[in-house]
Amino acid sequence: MTDVSGRDAVQGGPVQGDAVQGGGVRAGDLTGVRAARPGAIAEAAAARRRREGPPGAAGRRLMLIAADHPARGALGVGGDLTATADRRELLDRLCAALGRPGVDGVIGTPDILEDLLLLGALDGRLAIGSMNRGGLAGTAFEIDDRFTAYDAAAIAASRLDGGRLLFRVDDSDPATARTLEGCAGAVSALARRRLLALVEPLVAHRVDGRVRNLVTPEAMIRAVSVASGLGVTSAYTWLKVPVAPEMARVLAATTLPALVSGGDDGGDPREAMDGWRRALRIPGVRGLVIGRALLYPPDGDVEGAVDAAAALL
């Protein structure tokens, strides 16, 4: 058993699966390698085989797996409030999804992407670093979504393919302005490095003290319009937009490429699939971003769920 540099890996506990694609370490060795050889992460990032050109260079629709929810404290799927809490199980599911045809890459915070780098699971895949995760789910400061994970310099240094950022416009919460300012700065910083900025815009309000997103056509049109104007240039900006009523009307508000998301609330997977199918008919839609709906499907069949979504493309 060797680590990413070709030397003997440090044993960090019982092996929990075979080494995965790319010749990386085993999942059970991750803690040991992190403790004894933290530099192995930078070595793995430097050695990763990247795709050439911008994400849309191949001229086909993309499918990305979202795995950045744990850093916001959003661990639930349906009625299970800690469904994604077991990190090695999450990594197993991610590796299974990334190994399926039609999956282009993953969105994650540094801890998750670095585990996947060590496992060798990101060769030839798009790796998008999640940036603002400070608006923890369910908190009084949720709208103040500060940049607590990647910044543009770290994304470039790690040879990632872009950054993902989120803002929610809450007309009654002054923290919206700080989040918008932070997102605009991130879009500009990524663009200066010719890296993708994947922006997720939402309109939100509080119901009984909890943040709820508004996905009416009018709310999403407003959010998309604001997102399209962030930063000193929109040349490298793509949008991540949830399935909403009148999607064609929503996406008519921008010429930016859009990836469609949704279905991670534990609802009926057939309804989510129908929403993705309808959205993919819209010319501005360039693919899907799906997370827990594929990683934690009701029947537990990750590969089957991923394949069914990929077939829509």
The model's pLDDT over 18-30, given as tens digits with 9 standing for 90+, comes to 333 345 788 789 9
The pLDDT tens digits for 195-221 are 999 999 999 999 998 999 999 999 999
Question: By C-alpha distance, which of 77, 58, 56, 120 is closest to 295?
Answer: 77
pLDDT at 125 over 90: yes
129: DSSP letter: E
- DSSP symbols for 24-70: ---GGGHHHHHHH-THHHHHHHHHPPPPSS-TTTTSS-EEEEE--SG
Pick among 3.60.15.10, 3.40.50.10490, 3.20.20.70, 3.40.50.2300: CATH of 60-311: 3.20.20.70
Sign of CA dihedral 173, 142, 290, 258: positive
Q: What is the pLDDT of residue 168?
A: 96
What is d(CA 110, CA 154) in angstroms, rounded to the nearest whole number?
10
- Grade residue 16 by pLDDT with cuts at 50, 70 and 90: very low
State the chain's mean pLDDT as an integer. Answer: 90
Backbone phi, psi, residue 268, to 5°:
-65, 115
β-strand pairing of 196-207 with 162-169: parallel
Per-domain boundaries in the chain: 1-47, 60-311
pLDDT at 242 over 50: yes
The pLDDT tens digits for 37-73 are 999 999 999 999 999 888 988 888 999 999 999 999 9
pLDDT at 290 over 90: yes
pLDDT at 253 over 90: yes
pLDDT at 156 over 70: yes
Over range 264-278, report the average pLDDT: 84
- Grade residue 33 by pLDDT with cuts at 50, 70 and 90: very high
Q: What is the pLDDT of residue 25?
A: 81
Q: What is the pLDDT of residue 23?
A: 58
Q: What percent of the chain has pLDDT over 90?
A: 83
What is d(CA 189, CA 233) in angstroms, rounded to the nearest whole number?
10
Over range 262-275, report the average pLDDT: 82
pLDDT at 185 over 80: yes
Structure tokens at 232: 């000193």
